């Protein structure tokens, strides 16, 4: 009952998601032979799909969990951008924060999948930083949206050029000035700029890359603890939530810490698991969950999507069922 009530508090929360959105394209088929032209499989096409990806997948997770997400990003003024915007509208995700640029192309990740296994990925993207004009337009939209009863902000960084040192600092400052919780899922390029967050969620690789260190988590726990201390010292924030793949998740704040082990699952595809974790962690934060419960529920949610092929989201009822079974 405790967790049921907590999860019900996800509903109607207005979350502003800022970051790199992309179109996830899927080519699905069957492999029955090897090409005579080269040692590669021949995929017999069954169907093609377009899905919302990147920061958009965070918004999609939030929507499916009962929240009201608003997406803020810069996309290309192109066919793929139009497809992506239409997908947002169809899924009931507000596009009030979208900016279109004729100088960029919309990021598209095309995955070839057979028998639930990813065979190949093709990326079409511009990863240079957004220009001053479009950055100003994005920040103006964010500034206009924040007073409109926004409950939390998520910064979802895929190193595709939307987020940078300047706008990260400005957005965090806006959130603090309005007493709005702000969380982030980082990548290497901007790793050290996320100072002042409510919750910071790197994965283990991002932690190592961001701090430029290396260690074996399974055998060198002291080095991991040192890394967490260095993270909290160099990038001050309230809650650290570090996903550890097959080792589960680690969470800490100024007063306590815990490692939550992963649940046994049949892993199909880890794509998008981090998107689900940051969405669920942010909603748990708003529901006033303690840090152990934030970690436990986020851990379950991230594991659920790893059992499915491609980038997917989970529903509130699916999460409730899984939490009821495992906690």
Active site amino acids: 275
Residue 44, φ and ψ in degrees, nearest 5 = -85, 110
DSSP string over 21-62 = EEEEEEEEEEEEEE-SSSSSEEEEEEEEEEEEEEHHHHHHHH
Residue 71, φ and ψ in degrees, nearest 5 = -100, 135
133: Cα separation from own chain's centroid: 26
Please tell me the distance from the alpha carbon of residue 242 to that of residue 206, in angstroms, as a whole number.
Answer: 9
Please tell me the distance from the alpha carbon of residue 94 to that of residue 286, in angstroms, as a whole number.
Answer: 20
Say if CB 48 and CB 32 are below 8 A apart: no
Ramachandran quadrant class, 116 (left: phi over 0; alpha: psi -120 to 50; beta: rest): left
Question: How many CB atoms within 10 Å of residue 265?
Answer: 12
Query: How far apart, in Å, are the Cα atoms of 287 and each of 187, 220, 273, 281, 284?
Result: 26, 34, 21, 10, 5
């Amino acid at each position: 009952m405790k967790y049921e009530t907590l999860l019900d508090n996800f509903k109607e929360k207005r979350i502003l998601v800022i970051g790199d959105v992309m179109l996830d394209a899927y080519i699905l088929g069957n492999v029955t032979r090897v090409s005579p032209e080269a040692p590669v499989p021949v995929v017999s096409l069954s169907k093609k799909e377009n899905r919302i990806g990147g920061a958009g997948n965070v918004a999609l997770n939030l929507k499916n969990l009962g929240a009201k997400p608003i997406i803020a990003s810069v996309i290309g003024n192109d066919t793929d951008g139009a497809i992506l915007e239409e997908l947002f509208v169809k899924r009931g995700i507000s596009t009030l924060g979208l900016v279109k640029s004729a100088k960029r192309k919309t990021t598209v990740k095309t995955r070839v999948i057979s028998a639930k296994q990813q065979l190949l990925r093709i990326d079409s993207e511009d990863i240079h930083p957004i220009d001053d004009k479009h950055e100003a337009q994005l920040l103006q939209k964010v500034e206009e949206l924040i007073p409109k009863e926004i409950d939390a902000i998520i910064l979802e960084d895929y190193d595709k050029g939307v987020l940078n040192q300047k706008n990260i600092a400005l957005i965090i400052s806006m959130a603090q000035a309005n007493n709005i919780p702000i969380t982030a899922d980082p990548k290497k390029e901007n790793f050290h700029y996320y100072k002042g967050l409510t919750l910071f969620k790197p994965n283990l690789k991002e932690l190592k890359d961001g701090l430029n260190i290396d260690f074996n988590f399974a055998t060198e726990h002291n080095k991991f603890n040192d890394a967490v201390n260095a993270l909290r010292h160099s990038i001050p924030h309230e809650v650290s939530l570090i996903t550890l793949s097959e080792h589960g998740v680690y969470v800490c704040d100024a007063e306590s810490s815990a490692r939550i082990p992963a649940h046994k699952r049949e892993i199909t595809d880890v794509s998008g698991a981090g998107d689900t974790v940051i969405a669920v962690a942010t909603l748990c934060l708003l529901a006033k969950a303690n840090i152990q419960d934030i970690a436990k529920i986020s851990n379950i949610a991230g594991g659920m999507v790893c059992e499915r092929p491609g980038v997917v989201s989970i529903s509130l009822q699916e999460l409730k069922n899984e939490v009821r079974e495992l906690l």
